[in-house]
Amino acid sequence: MDDTITTSPDLDIAGADLVRATERYLAAQSSEPAQARLPRGLWRVLPDRLLSLHPARRGEAVARLRITPADHLALTAAVLEQWGWAQTGTRLRTVGGRRCILGAQRVVFHLGYGTEDTATTAGTYINAVLRAHGIPDPYPRWNEHPHVTPTHALTLLRTAATEATRA
């Protein structure tokens, strides 16, 4: 698998920098990272608005709302790992339930983790990491570039979580 993040054949960014940043993030964690109880099976393919009905959303409601942008990014990565990443075009998910980065953020929000402001702030960190690597596109557009892979998307999220933790 290619170890570079690219937006076009003319722009190659070494993925090794992102991997190192991810390793620093994981080493800096003083406690267990946020863990989501992600729904399985049919919940994955149902419309996102129905995720608010899932039993895992009940309880701990206030604690779920108080997650940090770093936690939001870690949970977004967990959605992509468990449900799958995809280039979805103008949609937020595929028929089979795989999500783009923005679609995974929507799942985290609909499951009751964080607020809209948390998700927006997390998106700001994602865009900052892309800009730091010379990629001017916002992350929803970057997600759709043909050279982007699931590994690139997960590395981007983990690097953004590192930056959010440092802030």
Domain that holds residue 162: 64-167
Domain presence at residue 102: yes
pLDDT (0 to 100) of residue 93? 86
Residue pLDDT, tens place only, 132-159: 999 999 999 999 999 999 999 999 999 9
pLDDT (0 to 100) of residue 64? 67
Q: What is each CA distance from 125 to 59, 73, 156, 157, in whole angstroms? A: 29, 9, 10, 9
Residue pLDDT, tens place only, 72-106: 999 999 999 999 999 998 888 898 989 999 999 99
- The total number of structural domains in the chain stands at 1
Domain presence at residue 98: yes
Domain presence at residue 40: no
Domain presence at residue 149: yes
